[in-house]
Structure 1
Amino acid sequence: MKPTSPNQTYRLATGYAFGLSDIGLVRRNNEDNFLVDDALGLAIVCDGMGGHDAGEVASTEALALFHQFIAEVDPHAFHHEPRDDPDATLPGRYSAQSDGTAPQGTHPAITVATRAVEHVNDQLYAMNRSDMRPDGRGMGTTMTGIWRQPQSATMVVFHVGDSRLYRWRDSRMLQITSDQTLYQKALDAGITVNLPGRNELLQAIGPSPMVEPEVHRLTPRPGDLYLLCSDGLHGMLSDQQIVDVLRNATPDTLATCSHQLVELAKQHGGKDNITVVLVWFDA
């Protein structure tokens, strides 16, 4: 099992990353976890759930299982990666089909990332079943990550739950992922009153036998900054408060900005665990 990553700066083949996780001011233990693997070009944030230490187990196991799956991929499968993905708009998202296959023409990295998420879900669901819960429910976790192989022009985004990925580019922040929650579903439907709670998840890894991840590709540009975070951050801060920190980010200040974001979330309540991973691309 690969351990969860320590709070430190990582030198990637295409840039830099810094990760930080904090228990917050209310929780008794930290069920968030993150992983940065410089060799694989992988960064992931997981927010576990399930009570007692189950959430911490779920997020830790999910990271280890996903990392192992990606580490065993044959890199030769991506030698002929298409270069026609300018990211003028966000590419269409791909959800796994019910038979586990990918649509014709799907990029191989999208297929691999989707299968990796499904594999993690299968394993966590089996662990829940082995705990004698007839419905298989129990511990679970969100998972939001990016995967950019060395020499690749594009990266894969994979997402389940309500942790988030943001991009800071040209002095503008864009939320890349969409929360898989009843609250977001209601907003998308135009509902503005009697909204459900913000944390009622429609998708999580582990509680159900099937999971439908959001998976798609983006083309990073030099100077792009990506923020992966748990809802302990974005649930406490407004977009503008996050922007005010990111606008000062450079490769040399990723640690400072990460700490500033965590401290701001704590100043505004710190009601949940807080995890931040900042990834800066210089190529």
Structure 2
Amino acid sequence: MTQPTTQPTTRPTAPLRLQFAAVSDVGRVRKDNQDSGYAGPWLLSVCDGVGGAARGDIASSTAIQQLRKLDEPPTEDLLGQVAGALHRAHDRIGELVDEDPSLNGTSTTATVALFDGTRLGLGHVGDSRAYLYRSGEITQLTKDHTFVQSLIDEGRITEDEARVHPHRNLILKALDGIHEAEPDLFHIGLAAGDRILLCSDGASGVLDDRRLADILSTGGPDFAAVELVRASLEAGSSDNVTCIVADVVDGSTPVEDPPPILVGAAAELRRRTRSAKGSLFRGHRAGDTGELEPVAAEIPDDVPFAISNDPLDPEQARYAPRPPRRFVWLKRLLAGLIVLGLLWVALAAAWSWSQQQYYVGEQDGTVVIYRGLNADLPGVSLSSTYETTDVQIARLSDFDAGKVREGIDAGSLDDARRAVDNLASKQSTDTTAGG
């Protein structure tokens, strides 16, 4: 836990105030901490960096540095302030990527709780979480922006199955400076005795609601935060773990605000010169103050990809800026139906036009008027007999008979009838023609 450097300030009397603690640990597997957290009198926030080699620690610490500016008595527009800070964090990450292309692919989740003395204004992007523990009951306030959450919403898997799903780390929204991720924004009213928990998925991914409630039911914020981190590691979390716990207490008496707490990558980047990067967590259960030593990650044999000779860090494949492809067969079917519909419309329009065309031709030695086109497709006739005349081919000259057999195109039915009248007049004068 980072030691505060700012001096306490005295706040004006407010209906409620926060007593808070924050702990962040690299965990037993990760080589560095990509979580960042901040807890202050007016602001609680957790950011979980995504990107692996693309430096998720920079994304999370950058976001926290922008968000921590909210830690002052807020205006009435809590959600406007939270949304603005999240967008500024998003823009700042984009600026860093522009300055250093090697950071392309970095991003971070963000869960922000801005306090005004009576309620919280929450902003949320990604899969870090906020919980409310009240009167012995725990409630998840945020909703994960993840692939497995979409499967839960569709009823395809349960929450327990989501915890072991092979794609449980795939998030659909994050602050990356490129894709504009609209955050979830909402208020929650508070009462004295409430306890707030913000945590990264290193904790929520392995501890269910019952276990979280059990830990939150005991001790002060500092004790609860440490125990949540310890329990997450003991439950087998393979990720960084960050937990912020804040108690809502009566604020009728003016008090000095406790100094803010900065943890995780945001606090550690200043100390990157240290050679050892083991777990920073030191517990206090039963007097235990020994450092938890990291253990080697176990990579499943069926991991299908690698970079150089090292298995791919799941963090490098964690963020998916576009939603997963679901119901692919249905989308293809709909696309096919649309194409068929357009083709049918085009064919119907062509057929309607063809039925307004006429030509003069021959049928069984008699001159007739056809409606349609003077052409045929294999197995398809594009015309039909419209009107039979008494003009006989045999009584026409060879030239006129040949023209009729080839078909005399007419722009309209009237034009076709005039062509027949012309042939009839020739028939009556050329009585010896033909044979």
Q: Note whether the superposition's TM-score is higher than 0.5.
A: yes
Equivalence for 2:244: 277
Q: Please tell me the residue identity of whatever aligns with 1:176.
A: L
Deviations 1:204-236 (A, max 9, x none): 011533111011111111000010000000112
Q: How does 1:63-74 map to 2 (within 5 A)?
A: 63-68=64-69, 70=70
Shift of 1:20: 0.3
RMSD, aligned α-carbons:
2.5
Q: How does 1:127-138 map to 2 (within 5 A)?
A: 127-132=96-101, 137-138=104-105
Q: Please tell me the residue identity of whatever aligns with 2:87.
A: E
Secondary structure of 1:48's partner?
strand
Is 1:232–1:274's contact at 8 Å kept on the other side of the alignment?
A: yes
| Worse-matched range after superposition: 240-249 or 138-147 | 240-249
Is 2:54–2:104's contact at 8 Å kept on the other side of the alignment?
A: no
How many residues are paired up?
Answer: 237
Equivalence for 1:181: 146
Equivalence for 1:121: 90
Shift of 1:158: 1.0
Secondary structure of 1:282's partner?
strand
- What is the rounded CA distance, in whole Å, between the counterparts of 1:74 and 1:23 in structure 2? 32
- What is the rounded CA distance, in whole Å, between the counterparts of 1:123 and 1:29 in structure 2? 22
Q: Does structure 1 residue 142 correspond to structure 2 residue 145? A: no
- What is the rounded CA distance, in whole Å, between the counterparts of 1:207 and 1:51 in structure 2? 17
Q: Please tell me the residue identity of whatever aligns with 2:66.
A: L
Which runs of 5 or more residues in structure 1 are unaligned? 79-107
- What is the rounded CA distance, in whole Å, between the counterparts of 1:123 and 1:62 in structure 2? 8
Is 1:182–1:196's contact at 8 Å kept on the other side of the alignment?
A: no
Equivalence for 2:196: 226
Is 2:20–2:247's contact at 8 Å kept on the other side of the alignment?
A: yes
Is 1:153–1:220's contact at 8 Å kept on the other side of the alignment?
A: yes
- What is the rounded CA distance, in whole Å, between the counterparts of 2:150 and 2:3 in structure 1? 34
Is 1:122–1:209's contact at 8 Å kept on the other side of the alignment?
A: no
| Worse-matched range after superposition: 162-171 or 180-189 | 180-189
Secondary structure of 2:112's partner?
strand
Is 2:130–2:199's contact at 8 Å kept on the other side of the alignment?
A: yes
Counterparts in 2 of 1:12 and 1:174: CA distance versus 1, 3 Å? farther
Which structure has the higher relative contact order (CA within 8 Å, separation 6+)? 1
Task: Please give the TM-score of this superposition, normalised by the length of structure 2.
Answer: 0.51
Q: Residue 182 of structure 2 is aligned with which of 192, 212, 221? A: 212
Equivalence for 1:43: 44
Equivalence for 2:268: none
- What is the rounded CA distance, in whole Å, between the counterparts of 2:18 and 2:115 in structure 1? 11
Shift of 1:270: 2.9
| Worse-matched range after superposition: 163-172 or 117-126 | 117-126
Deviations 1:64-122 (A, max 9, x none): 11223x36x895x53xxxxxxxxxxxxxxxxxxxxxxxxxxxxx221221121111111
Is 1:223–1:282's contact at 8 Å kept on the other side of the alignment?
A: yes
Deviations 1:134-188 (A, max 9, x none): xx94211111121113xx4222011110000010001100000000111101211
Q: Does structure 1 residue 6 correspond to structure 2 residue 2? A: yes
Secondary structure of 1:245's partner?
helix
More helix by share: 2
